[in-house]
């Protein structure tokens, strides 16, 4: 397994971040994580986040943003905000329902993202799209994500969420291998059919095979752990996930 740095999506520990952002970042660094991906700024200014990252020794992997943040009227603010923190990439984390009811809606989504990606690239930033499972449910007799992979230009990377692929009924290993050239950051999320609180290492995914597939084209810059359902405190869960991935990397 190639050495790829591992970060964590801060949505995984959103309660901890809301209560003590600086302390949470320091604890994440102490666990062994190398970076964090943002999911909102919790009312802290970008300059404050940049300082907290510097104090903790963590990198800004990127940020999850709403689709509205890449609309033309909001894009400049989005760029300025995340450049000020030091984020090299942002990823659209979901889509409004009124854009996903029809295939034409998905086509319009792709057009907006393609234009935004060109502008972001000029600023030294990359734009990605983070999948859930709904993009793999038929709309007008077609799988929307299949349409998106064809309509999104190479300027938009695919931020595959491995757990969400399996939730959508997709073989995540095979899918990652097929699209490996379009990856940049990859979300590592557990999937266990009969236990939604399973952490990485307790789930149904062959992570050795999944990571090998992701890395098959050499395009991945970061892995990002995301955990959303908890049998233990969130900080414990993300540590369990990292411990498993570290063991895999050391084999």
Instruction: Outline where DSSP puts E strands in the chain.
Output: 6-9, 35-39, 59-65, 89-92, 126-130, 156-159, 185-188, 222-225
Kindly state the tokens that stand for 213.
Answer: 């597939």
* 137 band by pLDDT with thresholds 50, 70 and 90: very high
pLDDT at 2: 58
List all residues 6 or more positions away from 71 whose beta carbon is below 8 Å from its beta carbon: 112
> Would you call 70 helix, strand, or coil by DSSP?
helix
Judge whether 21 and 44 are in contact, CB under 8 Å.
yes
Kindly report the average pLDDT of the chain as a whole number: 97
List all residues 6 or more positions away from 94 whose beta carbon is below 8 Å from its beta carbon: 66, 67, 130, 132
φ and ψ at 75, to 5 degrees? -65, -40
The model's pLDDT over 59-99, given as tens digits with 9 standing for 90+, comes to 999 999 999 999 999 999 999 999 999 999 999 999 999 99
* 249 band by pLDDT with thresholds 50, 70 and 90: confident
Query: Which CATH code for domain 6-249?
Result: 3.20.20.150
φ and ψ at 7, to 5 degrees? -115, 180
The model's pLDDT over 104-132, given as tens digits with 9 standing for 90+, comes to 999 999 999 999 999 999 999 999 999 99
Q: Average pLDDT in the 137-146 region?
A: 97
pLDDT of 180 strictly over 50? yes
pLDDT at 1: 46
The C-alpha torsion from 48 through 186 and 34 to 251, rounded to 10°, is 170
pLDDT of 3 strictly over 80? yes
pLDDT of 153 strictly over 70? yes
φ and ψ at 34, to 5 degrees? -105, -15
The model's pLDDT over 36-62, given as tens digits with 9 standing for 90+, comes to 999 999 999 999 999 999 999 999 999
For tokens 């059919």, name the residue: 193
Cα(237)–Cα(232) distance, rounded to whole angstroms?
6
The model's pLDDT over 192-203, given as tens digits with 9 standing for 90+, comes to 999 999 999 999
Q: Average pLDDT in the 180-194 region?
A: 98
């Amino acid at each position: 397994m190639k050495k790829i740095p591992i970060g964590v999506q801060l949505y995984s520990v959103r309660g901890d971040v809301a209560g003590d952002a600086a302390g949470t970042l320091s604890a994440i660094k102490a666990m062994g994580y190398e970076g964090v991906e943002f999911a909102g700024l919790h009312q802290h200014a970008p300059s404050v986040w940049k300082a907290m990252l510097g104090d903790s020794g963590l990198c800004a992997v990127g940020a999850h943003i709403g689709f509205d943040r890449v609309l033309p009227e909001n894009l400049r603010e989005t760029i300025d905000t995340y450049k000020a923190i030091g984020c090299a990439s942002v990823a659209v984390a979901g889509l409004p329902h009124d854009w996903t009811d029809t295939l034409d809606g998905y086509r319009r989504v792709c057009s907006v993202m393609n234009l935004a990606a060109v502008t972001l690239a000029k600023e030294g930033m990359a734009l990605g799209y983070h999948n859930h499972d709904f993009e793999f449910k038929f709309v007008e007799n077609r799988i929307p994500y299949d349409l998106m992979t064809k309509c999104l230009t190479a300027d938009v990377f695919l931020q595959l969420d491995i757990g969400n692929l399996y939730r959508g009924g997709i073989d995540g290993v095979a899918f990652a291998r097929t699209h490996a050239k379009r990856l940049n950051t990859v979300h590592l999320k557990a999937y266990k059919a009969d236990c939604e609180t399973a952490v990485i290492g307790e789930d149904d995914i062959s992570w050795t095979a999944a990571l090998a597939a992701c890395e098959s084209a050499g395009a991945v810059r970061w892995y990002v752990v995301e955990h959303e359902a908890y049998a233990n405190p969130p900080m414990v869960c993300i540590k369990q996930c990292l411990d498993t991935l570290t063991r895999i990397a050391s084999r």
